[in-house]
Chains A and B, each alone.
Chain A
């Protein structure tokens, strides 16, 4: 097994402590990753504690319309007199939830398809890869837009649409990892011991194929958050009542010449979260030693 420890992508369970140290080392060194962890942590906390932290009801309309940032309304109010800070805070819940749920779904489905295709080969591989290639003919975001058009708007539909749009990346990575791993001797060994295909896939192949998948997942969370914001912005998002970042921007767009805060702050929130995730993703890539071209 000793030759397997050279590349952490092939690391085995016995390397876990080593890998942990490596994480710690990379994150201790990397200022950007620290920034990312802190900012993302703050936003996560804000999302969880939104009911307690939010100074106003995010949908409560008042006569105090389009007033700039002040002591009373930290980030100002919108055209209906709603408090912008409260709306952005509540929007964090949707954005983070959609980001994580989408990627979770895309990861499970994509990896499943990729592992099946890579492990069995033959006609299963052909059918799955034909489909994946078909997805290649469309930019991911266009797929998401089209699927939302087909399914209709709403939280679940948006999650499914974005997940399906991003699934091909996971399938392709998982498949290529499986194709490499399949040739390894420890897989032969498992097979000789009479383990079932399912057990070999789940216990032997999957854990060793996870490094690039994890890196891709991190990157995808940031894409998913951007995609959700873009869909909401285009009016194809969750629904018109729930304050999401994209929707707040889209609502505020008509008033930006008089109320700059409506155009600036929601986008700033999106950028900070996505930036943090990208920083963390970059550090993970270093820690797990995944080459950029693999992902």
Chain B
């Protein structure tokens, strides 16, 4: 994370274009410019700036936005985070709910119509841009059927349904591609597991098909899948960045893109850092989960 934050800090100093000029578009007297540069600490050496920023980040202080109302970046990120987390969580749930049964069905009925259907769905899911799916969902469910709101976000505190109704469409948009990857993984690892000797033993013991699948095949088939879920988290985060912008949800993705448009260094730095922290953390959780479901793996 140290290297990550260093990279994030120095990269953005290369940004061509002058945020000061942008901020002072109308009232650009040289004195005002000087004062602003001094207030933001941009007159100090780069290393000093970095040190200040870095020690600040360690204490949860990401500096203040240099655009608009100069809010602390930490505040902006903290109001955005729950939205992105809600979205990621729901997308994940939707993906699993679709992928696990789809994967099992296509593995147990290999080459059947259902299998072909699942495989086609997986290909489509992988190939569909998530923001396009988002637009299609808006056209159908918000614009025409008017079942669900097209934009915005309501916190969970204001009730389950208002929260859910705003998040269902974006979550489907993000979760579909994610579920396609997982479904394919489950299918192939399930097929491998079904060939294993212990499955023959289980069948010989006279277990029912159902018990065999749920108790013996699924847990083993899920082991390689869990690792892929870690990688696919990247997809989920990228999806959130784009899809939040379609649904005007002011989550981390929207904050990031607006920050870039406004050349708001501190906000962009903070958002990228938080996104990658989230990514690294989720991969760590996946590793731990891996050890939990596979007793053969031990971290010392």
Contact = CB atoms under 8 A, between A and B. Distances in A.
Interface string A117-155: 000000000000010001001111110011111111000
Contacts of B128: 267, 271, 274
Which 10 A-B pairs have CB atoms at the shortest separation, nearest pair first? A267-B132, A139-B234, A141-B238, A275-B127, A257-B143, A274-B127, A149-B260, A263-B135, A137-B4, A138-B276
B135 A139 contact: no
What size tier do the contact residues of chain B reach? 35 or more
Contacts of B124: 271, 275
A145 to B, nearest CB: 7
Interface stretch (B6-14, B41-49, B67-75, B215-223): B6-14
Given A140-B238, A141-B234, A253-B135, A234 B245 contact: yes
Nearest to B131: A233
A96 to B, nearest CB: 15
A146 B276 CA distance: 12
B143 A249 contact: no
A292 interface: yes
The interface residues of chain A, by DSSP majority, are classed as helix
B82 to A, nearest CB: 20
B129 A226 contact: yes
Interface of B: 1, 3-4, 7-8, 11-12, 14-17, 123-124, 126-129, 131-133, 135-136, 138-139, 143, 188, 224, 233-235, 237-238, 241-242, 245-246, 256-257, 260-261, 268, 272, 275-276, 279-280
Interface residues of A, number: 43
Given A146-B272, A230-B131, A140 B14 contact: no
B127 A150 contact: no
A138 B217 CA distance: 34
Contacts of A256: 135, 138-139, 143
Given A150-B14, A249-B135, A138 B279 contact: yes
A278 interface: yes
A270 B279 contact: no
Contacts of A233: 129, 131, 242, 245
A142 B279 CA distance: 11
A9 to B, nearest CB: 19
A283 interface: no
A142 B139 contact: no
Contact of A139 (B4, B123, B126, B238): B238
A271 B12 contact: no
A229 B129 contact: yes
Given A142-B241, A263-B138, A275-B124, 9 more contacts: A137-B280, A139-B279, A152-B17, A229-B131, A233-B242, A253-B135, A267-B135, A270-B132, A278-B123
Contact of A271 (B15, B132, B246): B132
Interface string A229-257: 11001111000000000100100010011
A139 B275 contact: yes
A47 B223 CA distance: 44
Most buried by A among B11, B124, B131, B276: B131
A100 to B, nearest CB: 17
B270 to A, nearest CB: 13
A246 B235 CA distance: 18
A264 interface: yes
Contacts of B237: 139, 141-142
